[in-house]
Amino acid sequence: MIFQYCPRCKSEKVFYDGLKEYSCDDCGWLFFQNVATAVGVIMEYKDKLLFVVRNKDPQKGKLDLPGGFLDPGESIEIAIDKLEYFGSYPSIYEYEGIPYNTCDVILVTRISNLPTDFSEEVKEIKVLKPEEINLNKIAFESVGSAVSAYLRNKL
Ligand SMILES: [Zn+2]
């Protein structure tokens, strides 16, 4: 339950359907907390996989795939050549106490040079052999599921 009061009329009669819809009994306000799209890219580099170490919460210090949420107006085809669709994984991303339902779209690419330019949300990158990847150190269950499925398919 994100809203305790109606943002329109400040009534306390806000109803949450438990899934995605908020409504106000007093003024008829409706709000849909729709699924947010996030993209994660499995980058294969010389039989290793590239991970970023998160520099911010949630899950600061844990491994993640390069990527992020789509902003309004953006499409999934971000600026990387030869992207392959791998799969999509529903997840819940909790930020500042608010759970966001996401659908993590996982793409795959093979790179011959390591990227050097990352946002401030990235502490460092790690390039790991499959046997060096500890799924418990991956920030999100959805990303861990995608990485383990990828490794299973590949081996
Ligand atoms: Zn209202």
Q: Tally the domains of the chain.
A: 2
Are residues 128 and 71 part of one domain? yes
Confidence of residue 80 (pLDDT cuts 50, 70, 90): low
Are residues 70 and 2 part of one domain? no
Using alpha carbons, list the distances in angstroms from residue 70 to 39, 66, 111.
7, 13, 22
- Radius of gyration of the chain measured on its C-alpha atoms: 19
Are residues 147 and 81 part of one domain? yes
| pLDDT score of 134 more than 60 | yes
Instruction: Give pLDDT, residue 81.
Output: 66
d(CA 26, ligand 1 centre) in Å: 5
d(CA 37, ligand 1 centre) in Å: 28
d(CA 23, ligand 1 centre) in Å: 8
Average pLDDT, the chain: 92
Are residues 137 and 64 part of one domain? yes
Q: Report the distance separating Cα 30 and Cα 3, nearest Å.
A: 12
| pLDDT score of 47 more than 60 | yes
